[in-house]
Amino acid sequence: MLKVTDIGKTYGEFTALQNINLEVKDGEFLAIMGPSGSGKSTLINILGLLDQSYTGEYLLGNKNYQTVNDNELSQIRGDQLGFVFQNFKLLSTYTVYENIEVPLIYSKKVQNNKHQLIESVIEKVGLKGKEKNLPTELSGGQQQRVAIARAIVNQPKLVIADEPTGALDSKTSKEIMDIFEKLNQDGTTIIMVTHDSEVAEHAMRTVYIRDGRLYNDEKSVKNHD
Ligand code: ADP
Ligand code: ADP
C-alpha cells in the first residue's frame, strides 16, 4: 500500500520528523501512538498527501506524488483516501445523507448507483433511519459514524484517522473501533493516530513516535530516553 523511506520534515529550524521508515501492507490496520507534539499529525499529513514538503521518499501504491500539482492531488485524495478526524468535521447545515454524498459529488470515479452506495455505507455504520437528521441532532458517536461513512463512500484504498475517538467516551470509542475493525476485515487499509492504548489494541500493529522518530515497539522508545 505505502512505503516511507528516510523521511524528514522541518519547520524552519525545528526538526519535526527524522529518518522515518515505514511500510504498510494492503489490508493492514496500523496504529500510530505518541505524545502530543511528537510528530504524529506531521507524519499523517504526509501520508495523506496533504503535505508535499519533506525529504526522503514516500510511495503510495508504488507511486511518488511529490511533484504532482494540487488539482491532481486533491483528486487523488478524494478518490483513493478517506479521512476521519477527532472533531468529525461534518457540514453542519447538511443532513447525514448530504454529508456522506459530498465526496461522490467531487469524485471523477464513475458511480451510477450513488444512492445505493450511500445507503450501503449508512447501513454499514449503523445509521439507518438517520438520513435526514442534521449533525447537531446526533450524539458524538453518531457524528463520527457519519464521518466514517463519508470517508468510505468512495471505496478508498486507505483510510487515515487522526484521533478518531479523541472526543468520545470509552464505551462509544469501543463502538467506533468495532466499525473500524469491520471495515478492515472487509479489506480496507487503515492508519490511525491515537493517544489511547486501549484504542490502539484494535489495530493489527502499533508504531510509536517520540520527538519525530519512529519506533516499532514501546521498549525501544524507552531505551532511547
Ligand atoms: P502531534 O500530532 O504528535 O501532536 P505535530 O505533528 O502536530 O505533533 O507536531 C510536531 C511538532 O512540530 C510540534 O512540536 C509542533 O509544535 C511542531 N509543528 C507542527 N506544525 C508546525 C508548523 N506548521 N510550524 C511550526 N511548527 C510546527
Ligand atoms: P494535534 O491534535 O494533531 O496534536 P496540534 O494542535 O498539534 O494538533 O496542531 C494543529 C495544527 O496546528 C496542525 O495543522 C499543525 O501543523 C499546526 N501547528 C502545530 N504546532 C504548530 C506551531 N508550533 N506553529 C505553527 N503551527 C503549528
Contact at 8 Å (CB) between 159 and 81? yes
For residues 43 and 19, what is the distance between their CA atoms, to the nearest angstrom?
Answer: 12
Q: What separation in Å is there between the alpha carbon of 41 and the centre of ligand 2?
A: 8
For residues 155 and 23, what is the distance between their CA atoms, to the nearest angstrom?
Answer: 22
The reply to whether ligand 1 has any atom less than 6 angstroms from the CB of 77 is no
- pLDDT band at 222, cuts 50/70/90? low
Q: Nearest C-alpha to atom 25 of ligand 1 is from which residue?
A: 11
For residues 210 and 27, what is the distance between their CA atoms, to the nearest angstrom?
Answer: 26
Lowest mean pLDDT among 83-87, 175-179, 213-217, 221-225: 221-225
Digit-coded pLDDT (tens) for 187-211: 999 999 998 999 999 999 999 999 9
Mean pLDDT along residues 6-11:
98
Digit-coded pLDDT (tens) for 31-54: 999 999 999 999 999 999 999 999
What's the CATH code of the domain at 117? 3.40.50.300
Mean pLDDT rounded to a whole number for the chain: 94
- pLDDT band at 221, cuts 50/70/90? confident
For residues 160 and 206, what is the distance between their CA atoms, to the nearest angstrom?
Answer: 14
Which residue range(s) make up the domain with 8?
2-224
Number of domains in the chain: 1
Q: What separation in Å is there between the alpha carbon of 17 and the centre of ligand 2?
A: 14
For residues 73 and 197, what is the distance between their CA atoms, to the nearest angstrom?
Answer: 33
What's the pTM value of the predicted model, to 2 decimals?
0.90
The reply to whether ligand 1 has any atom less than 6 angstroms from the CB of 38 is yes
Share of the chain above pLDDT 90, in %: 89
The reply to whether ligand 2 has any atom less than 6 angstroms from the CB of 12 is no
> Can you give the pLDDT at residue 223?
66
The reply to whether ligand 1 has any atom less than 6 angstroms from the CB of 61 is no
- pLDDT band at 217, cuts 50/70/90? confident
The reply to whether ligand 1 has any atom less than 6 angstroms from the CB of 194 is no
For residues 158 and 144, what is the distance between their CA atoms, to the nearest angstrom?
Answer: 17
Q: Is pLDDT at 87 greater than 90 in this prediction?
A: yes
Q: Is pLDDT at 109 greater than 90 in this prediction?
A: no
The reply to whether ligand 1 has any atom less than 6 angstroms from the CB of 113 is no
> Can you give the pLDDT at residue 225?
58
H or E element in which residue 221 lies: helix 218-223
> What ligand has the least distance to the C-alpha of 166?
2
Digit-coded pLDDT (tens) for 19-34: 999 999 999 999 999 9
The reply to whether ligand 1 has any atom less than 6 angstroms from the CB of 53 is no
Digit-coded pLDDT (tens) for 143-181: 999 999 999 999 999 999 999 999 999 999 999 999 999
For residues 117 and 133, what is the distance between their CA atoms, to the nearest angstrom?
Answer: 18
For residues 8 and 109, what is the distance between their CA atoms, to the nearest angstrom?
Answer: 33
Among all chains, which residue has been given the C-alpha cell 519506533? 215
Q: Nearest C-alpha to atom 13 of ligand 2 is from which residue?
A: 41
Q: What separation in Å is there between the alpha carbon of 110 and the centre of ligand 2?
A: 36
Task: Tell me which DSSP letter residue 67 carries.
Answer: T
Count helices and strands in the chain by DSSP H and E runs: 8, 10
Burial category of 1 from C-beta neighbours within 10 Å (exposed 0-12, middle 13-18, buried 19 and up): middle
* ipTM greater than cut 0.90: no
For residues 39 and 36, what is the distance between their CA atoms, to the nearest angstrom?
Answer: 8
- Angle value at C-alpha 79, between 78 and 81, nearest 5 degrees: 70
> Can you give the pLDDT at residue 220?
73
